[in-house]
Amino acid sequence: MTFRDGLLKARGQITFIVALALSTGVIIYLEALDTEERIQSRVTAELARQRNAPPVLPPVEAAVRANLARAEEAYAADPNNAAHRAALLTSLSSAVQLGIRQPNEGLAGAQKVLDGIERQRGDGNPVVGSALGVAALAFPSLQDRIARLSAAP
């Protein structure tokens, strides 16, 4: 039997091994994307938004937009101020819940504020604590991080 004859007889096994290697590669790639967590976070946020967001009147939406703009300006001017952090977290959470801000934009802003809170541990400001609770509801992917910050002395 020649090498060629051996390959022809083993073509089924070779095809199976190639398919197995390709499917393993695809699985590893999909796991690297971390799609399940991302999809779960988006679904949770959307369900929370739908459950908690009755039709919003235009004056309310305008007020949320104005408060968000003021909170962003105040935070940019003094990011170490606890009231400015709380205002920005609350405004970002409201804006995402009402669909004024995209979830990924709100999440990025909330992470930036949380970075600042982590740098100044031990603040214990009740206003910041309340804002952390609101942010945990609006951004489910940050709940573990917020729980650690809320439990910190």
pLDDT in tens, 81-140: 888 999 999 999 988 888 888 888 988 999 999 888 888 765 667 888 888 888 888 888
Kindly report the three-state secondary structure assignment for every residue of 54-108: CCCCHHHHHHHHHHHHHHHHHHHHCCCCHHHHHHHHHHHHHHHHCCCCCHHHHHH
CB 84 within 8 A of CB 67: no
CA proximity to 142, closest of 72, 153, 131 = 131
Domain spans of the chain? 1-33, 35-151
pLDDT score for 73: 94
Contact 87, 71 (CB under 8 A): yes
Q: What is the pTM of this model?
A: 0.63
User: HSE of 96 in the Cβ direction (CA atoms, 13 Å)?
Assistant: 27
pLDDT band at 23 (very low <50, low <70, confident <90, very high): very high
